[in-house]
Structure 1
């Protein structure tokens, strides 16, 4: 099992008893891997031996996106796949911060140079960042610095509306994570996001403890029980591209998908395959300031705004008249060259932000959003009163996006998935023009998940 310490300091004991000797201590947020519980204790590896910690003070890892890692050895090899014989990519040094995407048996999947790579897990200290809040950048460009000082080294910049997780604050500065590194931004340029409508895990640390007389810590927020994201059984991210995709997506959100599929009487393999095909199992792009993944559709923007402003639209946007989902290009002004933008999230957001200046509602109606890639003009169908309400919900949390997927499923769509008729499903979800292509992709991902996790029951 995997879990994070929820006490400020937690004793590690030699035996599963409060009267046994103390081997050492672990601090709040540290991620532990162990076996158990055994009579309310968990056995863990500790300093080349083993020890025991009280199970009630180990918090489930609800959201892997909150994991941060620090290299604890002098030199750590980064590899292309999770095996010691795979291609060597680079070396990380002691103290380096890494962005952890998934935890495998003895390996960590990490973000590396805009892609994914792997390092041996025993050489990385993992911390689950649970105490904090999400905030949005409220200025055009916000400097990200290495220390809470205006003259500290500049790591980079965040654009307006970027979403960040604030770990803490000190003397007018907020501590955040930036490309896997601890970094700082000025408080006054952040606006805290109201998460009252979302289920994101937070828990407060408690005092030094391992007594079995204390009650277990509830997983609650705003007085409501939370939905877990991370499943108890994690998969190795290996094999074909489809197998790697389904495994990584399962590791991120498997628990939530199982829960929602159970309510819909749907094989979780089907919903997971749909998410993998729509967005490669991702809802936010870490290499684009953790912004929600979008796709701006020129032909939809024509429908909602361009046909009322044809001359201005044609100065900035193009698409094919025969196949309207193809040939999408844009330019900022008449003197600029036409540019393609699909396939790059930074470019998608540039077009979207430009369109928002022309008409904000029309621009939001013209994008597909998040992991399920649901078009904005479907906002009423999935239960929102306005496009702004949908955009905010999808921008704030993955739960909002995945809940939106299940709200979008019509009875006929669910029947097609239950019958494994993926082409007919794709015809309704993606449109008849590409139903064969998308249906085949869903079928391949469905089969891939059945292969890597054949004994899963819903």
Structure 2
């Protein structure tokens, strides 16, 4: 089993972002709903078929509609994600790795530079190594996308829109973040 984040890890991240520990814990809970790793020691991922379709210009949409599709959805269970990713990797490795959200904070692979990594492979390797790397990537991503003020001020709607995209409201990310923050604040 991979080491879990400790309270001091959250405190260090909160200090780096000048925000509350409860805010970071809220994001972790809403994004991964669990640990950063599966029982198999693989990082929690979500393969986004619509991103894969976009990155590959739809060339696999007809042959592999469950892996490449201009419409989001069709995710399946958490346990199916790595199999879906492996299928996509066999078609186009870089596009596949960039089309998954990774780890405890579900950072999209295409954001590897914003998460502080020099290459996609370096990012993926880090996501397989530890929850501490997941947190480090999150801190760098938040700094590089200037989301620290939304997190600090607990502007959950603004944070959710920028972190999850303009359709954040469909999954009520802002409401879930506010509720999780309240839980950890107490």
What is the TM-score when the length of structure 1 is the normalising length? 0.38
Residue 72 of structure 2 is matched in structure 1 by 325
How far 1:434 moved relative to its partner? 1.5
1:405 corresponds to 2:175: no
Question: Is residue 2:91 matched to residue 1:316?
Answer: no
Distance of 2:185 and 2:88 partners within structure 1: 42
Of residues 173, 183, 186, the one that matches 1:448 is: 183
Q: Give how far 1:290 is off.
A: 1.6
Aligned counterparts of 1:317 and 1:393: Cα–Cα separation in 2: 30
Whole-angstrom CA distance in 2 between matches of 1:281 and 1:257: 16
Q: Deviations over 1:164-190 (max 9, x none)?
A: xxxxxxxxxxxxxxxxxxxxxxxxxxx
Matches within 5 A, 1:287-366: 289-307=40-58, 309=59, 312-318=60-66, 324-326=71-73, 328=74, 341-342=75-76, 344-366=77-99
CA distance in 2, matches of 1:417, 1:375: 19
Asked if 2 retains the 8 angstrom alpha-carbon contact of 1:394 and 1:400, the reply is yes
Pick the aligned partner of 1:427 from 135, 146, 161.
Answer: 161
CA distance in 1, matches of 2:41, 2:128: 10
Note the residue ranges of structure 1 that are not aligned, 5 or more in a row: 1-64, 67-199, 201-228, 230-251, 329-340, 452-458
List gaps (5 residues or longer) in structure 2. none
Q: CA deviation at 1:264?
A: 2.0
Q: Distance in 1 between matches of 2:100 and 2:79?
A: 14
- 1:18-417 aligned within 5 A: 65=1, 252-286=5-39, 289-307=40-58, 309=59, 312-318=60-66, 324-326=71-73, 328=74, 341-342=75-76, 344-410=77-143, 412-417=146-151
Which structure has greater strand proportion?
A: 1
CA distance change for structure 1 residues 372 and 260 in 2, over 3 Å: closer, same or farther?
A: same
Give 1:442 deviation, angstroms.
0.5
Q: SS of 2:62's equivalent? A: helix
1:26 corresponding residue in structure 2? none
- On the 8 A contact 1:424/1:435 being kept in 2, the answer is no
Partner Cα separation in structure 1 for residue 51 and residue 132 of structure 2 = 26
Tell me the SS of whatever aligns to 1:314.
Answer: coil
Distance 1:367 1:264 in 2: 25
SS of residue matched to 1:291 = coil
Q: Which residue of structure 2 aligns with residue 185 of structure 1?
A: none
Structure 2 CA distance for partners of 1:393 and 1:320, relative to 1, 3 Å: closer
Judging by fraction of residues, say which structure has more helix: 2
SS at structure 2 position matched to 1:316: coil
Distance in 2 (CA, whole Å) between partners of 1:405 and 1:281 is 16
